């Protein structure tokens, strides 16, 4: 009587759970991880982000890596262990992570008003969910086992492969384990006050190993734009949105049937009875003297427009019974804080913290986060974000290893000219 394996081969299908495992087993394992993960999420809730805080995360990383090494050295003949180091396991793990990342892209994360079943399954907090944790460890197991196959026994020809794969393993594992140790705090600075405390998103206050004093907050702005608005609702006329133009002295622009000419533009001004005059003082804002001419009737309207500030209200130029000419609030082009930084054992130093240009000190990165937008450029309050990620050096180490591996493989792959000079032919290394 023919065996079951022989019958399956005749049907063109490899038997499931019979070595060597292939993709069928991988898809079943991936599906099982998803089902168990979502079941745990539904019944027990999401992961506690602080559960893997230091030093637990270090122990988990060492134990997990040690188990992978021991499994390869002493149990690599077991079908599951042998399969982990093969291509089907890697493809299934990557596909599982890609599926969860797609969910993250389609479902708004950290959405407090999401449907109850969405929040209960962890779809709106994917990075803190059981399915995501299982998928990441599945990927790391496949990556680690593939690395071990090239590491033991070591061969010089595998050096580039090891740098790439071991670097990826270190970067992903450090990023996963270190997420619980990332600290994000906000420090609210006011001019002339030395601040030693910062608070987290939950309002908990912490005493910091550094202090800051705000000298001055500075904000640079783009020129405001001329806009046609509905006088009653104060909303921009939809058909004119594409025609908005920046206000400069001498510029002319069109807003639907109106031609707008800017006679004078003052970036910083204050109202003076029936006009505006340039003033460099707290509360001043942009203002412009304009003329609006109706293209068909020739009617003209002339006057000042301004978006106002905390010190004076905005001013419109009425064009007809329904529409007015307005000035938009200028958008910020850059803002920064000049502060005095105090750290133990060092002299106080004056530094500048600017958007997209953080300042690093003692393992902390200081970012310009926000300001009091009620006062705009005249804000006397600046909010600085302090971020500390102690695992970041390990992540960078993994990234540099991958870069080194890529460079090594690139140069190794080059083929030198043949010694006989045979018309550009190359000999393999």
Q: Which two tokens stand for residue 55?
A: 């030093």
How close are the terminal C-alpha atoms of the chain, in Å? 53
Give me the residue label for tokens 């060092």. Answer: 346
pLDDT at 409: 87
The DSSP result for 54-72, as a single string, is TTHHHHHHHHHHHHHHHHH
Q: At what angle do helices 392-412 and 159-178 cross, to 10 degrees?
A: 160
Judged against a pLDDT cut of 70, whether residue 420 lies above it is answered with: no
| CATH 2.60.98.10 domain position(s) in the chain | 184-220+333-388
Q: How many helices (H) and strands (E) does the chain have?
A: 9, 18
Q: List, for residues 354-413, the tens digit of each pLDDT value.
A: 988 899 998 999 999 999 988 989 999 999 999 999 999 999 999 999 999 999 888 886
Judged against a pLDDT cut of 50, whether residue 234 lies above it is answered with: yes
Q: List, for residues 301-331, the tens digit of each pLDDT value.
A: 999 999 999 999 999 999 998 999 999 999 9
Omega of the bond prior to 20 within 30 degrees of 0, cis? yes
**Would you say 245 and 251 are in contact if contact means Cβ atoms under 8 Å apart?**
yes
Judged against a pLDDT cut of 60, whether residue 416 lies above it is answered with: no
- Average pLDDT rounded to a whole number, residues 213-237: 94
Give the global pTM: 0.76
- Average pLDDT rounded to a whole number, residues 277-290: 94
Which of the four pLDDT bands, split at 50, 70 and 90, describes residue 3?
Answer: very low
Judged against a pLDDT cut of 90, whether residue 155 lies above it is answered with: no
**Would you say 211 and 195 are in contact if contact means Cβ atoms under 8 Å apart?**
yes
The strand pairing partners of 225, in sequence order, are 246
Q: Cα–Cα distance between 164 and 142 in angstroms, integer?
A: 14
Q: Cα–Cα distance between 211 and 231 in angstroms, integer?
A: 48
pLDDT at 422: 44
Radius of gyration of the chain (CA): 32
Q: Cα–Cα distance between 179 and 395 in angstroms, integer?
A: 11
Q: Cα–Cα distance between 324 and 302 in angstroms, integer?
A: 12
Q: List, for residues 38-74, the tens digit of each pLDDT value.
A: 999 999 888 887 888 899 999 999 999 999 999 999 9
184-220+333-388: which CATH architecture? Sandwich (2.60)
Q: Cα–Cα distance between 356 and 382 in angstroms, integer?
A: 15
Cα angle 247, 252, 253; round to 5: 80
pLDDT at 429: 34
- Residues 6 or more apart whose Cβ sits within 8 Å of residue 29: 92, 138
Q: What is the DSSP letter of 191?
A: B
Judged against a pLDDT cut of 50, whether residue 287 lies above it is answered with: yes
């Amino acid at each position: 009587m023919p065996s079951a394996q022989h019958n399956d081969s005749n049907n063109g299908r490899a038997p499931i759970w019979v070595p060597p495992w292939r993709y069928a087993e991988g898809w079943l394992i991936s599906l099982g991880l998803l089902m168990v993960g979502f079941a745990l999420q539904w019944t027990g809730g999401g992961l506690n982000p602080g559960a893997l805080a230091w030093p637990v995360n270090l122990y988990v990383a060492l134990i997990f890596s040690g188990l992978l090494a021991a499994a390869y050295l002493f149990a690599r003949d077991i079908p599951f262990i042998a399969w982990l180091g093969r291509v089907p396991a890697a493809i299934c793990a990557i596909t599982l992570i890609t599926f969860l990342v797609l969910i993250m892209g389609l479902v708004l994360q950290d959405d407090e008003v999401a449907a109850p079943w969405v929040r209960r399954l962890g779809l709106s907090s994917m990075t803190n969910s059981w399915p995501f944790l299982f998928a990441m460890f599945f990927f790391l197991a496949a990556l680690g086992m593939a690395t071990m196959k090239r590491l033991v026994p070591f061969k010089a020809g595998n050096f580039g492969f090891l740098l790439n794969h071991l670097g990826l393993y270190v970067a992903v594992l450090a990023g996963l384990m270190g997420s619980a140790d990332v600290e994000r705090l906000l420090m609210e600075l006011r001019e002339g006050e030395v601040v030693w405390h910062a608070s987290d998103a939950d309002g908990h206050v912490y005493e910091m190993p550094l202090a800051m004093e705000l000298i001055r907050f500075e904000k640079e702005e783009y020129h405001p734009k001329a806009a046609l608005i509905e006088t009653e609702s104060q909303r921009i006329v939809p058909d004119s949105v594409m025609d908005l133009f920046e206000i400069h002295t001498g510029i002319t622009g069109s807003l639907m049937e109106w031609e707008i000419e800017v006679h004078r533009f003052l970036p910083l001004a204050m109202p003076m009875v029936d006009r505006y005059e340039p003033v460099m003082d707290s509360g001043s804002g942009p203002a412009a003297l304009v003329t609006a001419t109706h293209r068909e009737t020739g009617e003209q309207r002339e006057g000042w427009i301004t978006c106002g500030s905390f010190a004076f209200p905005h001013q419109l130029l009425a064009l007809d019974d329904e529409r007015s000419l307005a000035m938009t609030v200028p958008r910020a082009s850059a803002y920064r804080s000049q502060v005095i930084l105090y750290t133990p054992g060092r002299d106080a130093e004056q530094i500048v913290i600017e958007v997209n240009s953080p300042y690093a000190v003692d393992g902390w990165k200081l970012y310009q986060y926000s300001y009091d937008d009620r006062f705009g450029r005249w804000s006397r309050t600046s909010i600085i974000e302090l971020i500390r990620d102690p695992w970041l050096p390990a992540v960078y180490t993994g990234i540099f290893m991958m870069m080194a591996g890529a460079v090594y493989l690139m140069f190794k792959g080059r083929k030198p000219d043949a010694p006989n000079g045979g018309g550009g032919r190359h000999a393999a290394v």
